[in-house]
Amino acid sequence: MKSELKIKSDIEIAQSTEMKRIKDIAQNLGLYEDEWEPFGHYKAKISLNTMKRLNDNPSGKVILVTAINPTPAGEGKSTVTVGLAQALNRIGKKAIVAMREPSLGPSMGIKGGAAGGGYSQVMPMEDINLHFTGDLHAITSAHNALSALIDNHIHQGNEVGFDTRRITWKRVVDLNDRALRQVIVGLGGPTQGVPREDGFDITVASEIMAILCLASDLTDLKRRISSIVIGYNSVKEPITVSDIGVQGAITLLLKDALNPNLVQTLENTPALIHGGPFANIAHGCNSVAATKMAQKLSDYVVTEAGFGADLGAEKFFDIKTRAGDIDPAATVIVATIRALKMHGGVPKDQLKDENVSALEKGLANLEHHVASIQKYGVPFVVAINRFVTDSDLEVNKLLNWCEENNIPVALTDVWAKGGKGGIDLAKTLLDEIKTKENTFKPIYELDMPIEEKIQTIATEIYGADDVEFSPKALKQLKEFDLNGWSHLPVCMAKTQYSLSDDPALLGRPSGFTITIREFRPSIGAGFIVALTGNVMTMPGLPKKPAALNMDVSEDGTAIGLF
């Protein structure tokens, strides 16, 4: 039976499952008909205006799903997120999934969905992975409208005095397109604009995406957009969107995108899939608007953050909870046997072979993340996301180690079994929430200097010995002081594969230093990005992109999507 299940692909499972009409999902949540709008029969947008009515409802408990440092294939964090919410509903709790929405770019490149997997998926997966409700397109439009308005402002006389060598606002497409990383625009003579260097990022790397995910309402969205720094003048003073007076138009383009999207999981658990900022140059969490709305519509909100706990959980706790005034109730740390073996030194192509000693060695990575999460004072459970290749010996080793170290743990099999495979995890988690004290507090104070914030993250969360700042970074910090930006939280851009800033240092590296190469101010989003290395904000396509296998049947059924 199990092996037969495993043979089906994610899209086959999704296409063979009957969905409920979104009308029924919305009704079950207690939403009135005029509070949401359908997008087809299986997707909806819920108006943020609904929050006024819901304001007096009690707030559901927020459960963050995070992970150890992942393998390049990922450890199934989304699948566990969906499976856990399904499991909570199976044991009589009211739970909602709050997840990020995927970008179109990567789906054209490397096979791999962003909507969970197996029997723990959100649906309709084809729509979610293609245009969905148009949020990413609205962000692309808003971002590029701002770009066009900047270049037009310069072309028409440059009243605010942009230094055209110091325009920091680039352009975006929601695609993997390496040829657009570095371009020259405005060529062709005086009627074609002013020539200058420019570049394109992928849409999910847009500051507007980060802003949409942190804004509490349209007024806050406009306030944040007004304060985006788009460039500098000749004396290096920042120029913002409000200086060229187009914050109203840009906000108008985003008015519908700000409303959270409602869909369902394979087991008809409601899911709010909304916003998907990068987890390096942004904070990697779904929107504050969706998380808070989910809290008002259910008792438990299961949500996730990008990459491992060193990046995702840190940003969730230190950036998102602050922007949204969210109190996290518990954390799930997803671990897999194969990733732990990788941290224990096993090469990628041998992860399927039993190797208990490598597993034991790799446990140091898990141990470190457990210690980090404990520093935030939030109850937690380690979830072992089981794969068919895991041996019983390996699984038992991991379970025993957790027990010996007093670490709450549960085995999950949500890919193959859906919510049923997450019931142990759900029960263990509820028990932890009930019995353990919650003393949540961010790891740093906002009034610390930026250097000190980074020092705290690096030593407390990464386990680094020290932080080095490049001369450029130090110079920038002085400018930030003058601009009044030092009170902002820090958004770390670091490799997800290692606790350090060197992707090759697996396990639990020690004796390392984190180097801050430079900063990028995201003043609209409300954080300062600290770059520890080269950050790719525009991916490329592989030699044989997934697009080569995609098609659509005569009647409109998607083929080869995943």
Cα dist from 142 to 24, 108, 130, 546, whole Å: 33, 23, 19, 28
Tell whether omega for the bond before 539 is within 30 degrees of 0, i.e. cis.
no
CA 432 to chain centre: 25
Q: Which is nearer to a second copy, 141 or 265 (CB)?
A: 141
Is 307 an annotated catalytic residue? yes
Catalytic hit among 67, 85, 114, 279: 279
Q: Which of 296, 299, 248, 272 is nearest to 93 (CA)?
A: 299
Q: How far is the CB of 221 from a second copy (least distance, A)?
A: 9
Q: Which is nearer to a second copy, 251 or 265 (CB)?
A: 251
**Stretch in the footprint of a second copy (CB under 8 A) among 60-68, 191-199, 279-287, 426-434:** 191-199
Binding status of residue 155 toward a second copy by CB under 8 A: yes
Q: Which is nearer to a second copy, 193 or 533 (CB)?
A: 193
Binding status of residue 73 toward a second copy by CB under 8 A: no
> Which residue in 134, 442, 503, 533 binds a second copy (CB under 8 A)?
134
- The two structure tokens encoding residue 472: 């450029």
Say if strands 558-559 and 551-552 run parallel, antiparallel, or are unpaired: antiparallel
Is 415 an annotated catalytic residue? yes
**Stretch in the footprint of a second copy (CB under 8 A) among 45-53, 58-66, 269-277, 462-470:** 45-53
- Say how many residues touch a second copy, by CB under 8 A: 80
Say if strands 466-469 and 513-516 run parallel, antiparallel, or are unpaired: parallel
Instruction: Say how far apart CA 562 and CA 556 lie, in whole Å.
Output: 16
Q: How far is the CB of 356 from a second copy (least distance, A)?
A: 40
Instruction: Say how far apart CA 283 and CA 254 lie, in whole Å.
Output: 20
* Beta bridge partners of residue 238, listed in sequence order: 232
Segment (H or E) for 310 = none
**Stretch in the footprint of a second copy (CB under 8 A) among 151-159, 293-301, 375-383, 401-409:** 151-159
Binding status of residue 560 toward a second copy by CB under 8 A: yes
Binding status of residue 160 toward a second copy by CB under 8 A: no
Q: How far is the CB of 174 from a second copy (least distance, A)?
A: 7
Q: Which residues contact 446 (CB under 8 A, 6 or more apart)?
A: 322, 487, 488, 489
Binding status of residue 51 toward a second copy by CB under 8 A: no
Q: SS3 of 539, please? A: coil
Q: How many CB atoms lie within 10 A of CB 141?
A: 18
Length of the chain as a residue count: 562
CA 299 to chain centre: 22
> Which residue in 93, 181, 487, 517 binds a second copy (CB under 8 A)?
181
Site for a second copy in 484-543 (CB under 8 A): 540-541, 543
> Which residue in 19, 145, 395, 448 binds a second copy (CB under 8 A)?
145
Q: Which is nearer to a second copy, 180 or 208 (CB)?
A: 180
Site for a second copy in 23-42 (CB under 8 A): 37-41
Binding status of residue 152 toward a second copy by CB under 8 A: yes
Segment (H or E) for 367 = helix 356-376
Q: How far is the CB of 143 from a second copy (least distance, A)?
A: 10
Angle between the N-to-C axes of helices 77-90 and 423-435, in degrees from 0 to 180, rounded to the nearest 10: 80
> Which residue in 175, 363, 461, 464 binds a second copy (CB under 8 A)?
175
Catalytic hit among 100, 224, 292, 397: 100
> Which residue in 35, 174, 201, 390 binds a second copy (CB under 8 A)?
174
Q: How far is the CB of 10 from a second copy (least distance, A)?
A: 16
Is 296 an annotated catalytic residue? no
Q: How many CB atoms lie within 10 A of CB 94?
A: 15
Instruction: Say how far apart CA 343 and CA 361 lie, in whole Å.
Output: 7
Q: What value, to the nearest 5°, has the Cα angle with vertex 68 and ends 281 and 491? A: 20
Q: SS3 of 230, please? A: strand
- Binding pattern to a second copy, positions 238-277, x when CB under 8 A? -------xx-xx-xxx-xx---------------------
Q: How far is the CB of 25 from a second copy (least distance, A)?
A: 15
Q: Would you say 383 and 334 are in contact if contact means Cβ atoms under 8 Å apart?
A: yes
Question: Residue type for 299, please?
Answer: D
Catalytic hit among 111, 166, 436, 517: 111
Q: Which is nearer to a second copy, 262 or 384 (CB)?
A: 262
Q: Would you say 327 and 363 are in contact if contact means Cβ atoms under 8 Å apart?
A: no
Q: How far is the CB of 248 from a second copy (least distance, A)?
A: 3
Is 279 an annotated catalytic residue? yes
With tokens 């409109």, the residue in question is: 556
Is 387 an annotated catalytic residue? yes
Q: Any idea which residues carry the catalytic annotation?
A: 77, 79, 100, 111, 279, 307, 387, 415
